[in-house]
């Protein structure tokens, strides 16, 4: 595998993990979004990654699609809330903070790992250029 192939594969990993981080951060930011019971709840965004040319050593990874959580959400009894229905219920998204924090940590670790590969490949390329100067 050449240095440029390693950079390309790592770059695809960086982009995929950044999108995963963005989705988890958006989900966490909207975990307390309240809606009326006759509206859909905020839907969590889930990123589905896919290997590109798996096993070839040249492919990398990409975001295949985004999936969305349950629009039904969860009903919470809050009769004093301005959006409460006649029975006193409002709708919250069905998002688990623990799951989202775990996803965020995994995406962050993946991002850091790919960034380390980019740094090492860059250092190797720079060292090769220095050999040509002597």
Q: What integer pLDDT is reported at residue 1 of this predicted model?
A: 59
Q: What integer pLDDT is reported at residue 123 of this predicted model?
A: 86
**DSSP-derived secondary structure letter, 9:** H
Q: What integer pLDDT is reported at residue 125 of this predicted model?
A: 81
Give the C-alpha separation, 14 to 7, whole Å.
10
Give the C-alpha separation, 74 to 34, whole Å.
10
Q: What integer pLDDT is reported at residue 93 of this predicted model?
A: 97
Q: What integer pLDDT is reported at residue 131 of this predicted model?
A: 83
* The pair of three-digit structure tokens given for residue 66, joined into one six-digit string: 């985004």
Give mean pLDDT in consecutive 10-residue pieces for the chain, a chain of 134 residues.
77 94 97 97 95 78 92 96 97 97 96 92 83 72
Measure Cα distances from 108 to 41, 64, 114 in Å: 27, 19, 10
Q: What integer pLDDT is reported at residue 127 of this predicted model?
A: 84
Give the C-alpha separation, 79 to 36, whole Å.
12
Q: What integer pLDDT is reported at residue 7 of this predicted model?
A: 83
Q: Are 91 and 39 in contact (CB under 8 A)?
A: yes
Spatial neighbors of 119 by CB under 8 A, at least 6 apart, are none
Q: What integer pLDDT is reported at residue 134 of this predicted model?
A: 61
> Can you give the pTM of this predicted structure?
0.82
């Amino acid at each position: 595998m050449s240095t440029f192939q390693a950079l390309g594969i790592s770059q695809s990993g960086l982009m995929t993990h950044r999108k995963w981080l963005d989705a988890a951060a958006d989900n966490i930011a909207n975990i307390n979004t309240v809606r009326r019971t006759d509206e859909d709840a905020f839907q969590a965004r889930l990123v589905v990654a896919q290997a590109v040319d798996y096993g070839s050593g040249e492919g990398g990874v990409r975001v295949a699609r985004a999936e969305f959580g349950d629009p039904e959400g969860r009903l919470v009894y809050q009769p004093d809330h301005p959006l409460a229905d006649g029975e006193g219920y409002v709708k919250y998204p069905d998002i688990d903070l623990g799951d989202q924090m775990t996803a965020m940590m995994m995406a962050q670790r993946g991002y850091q790992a790919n960034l380390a590969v980019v740094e090492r490949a860059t250092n190797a390329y720079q060292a090769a250029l220095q050999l040509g100067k002597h």
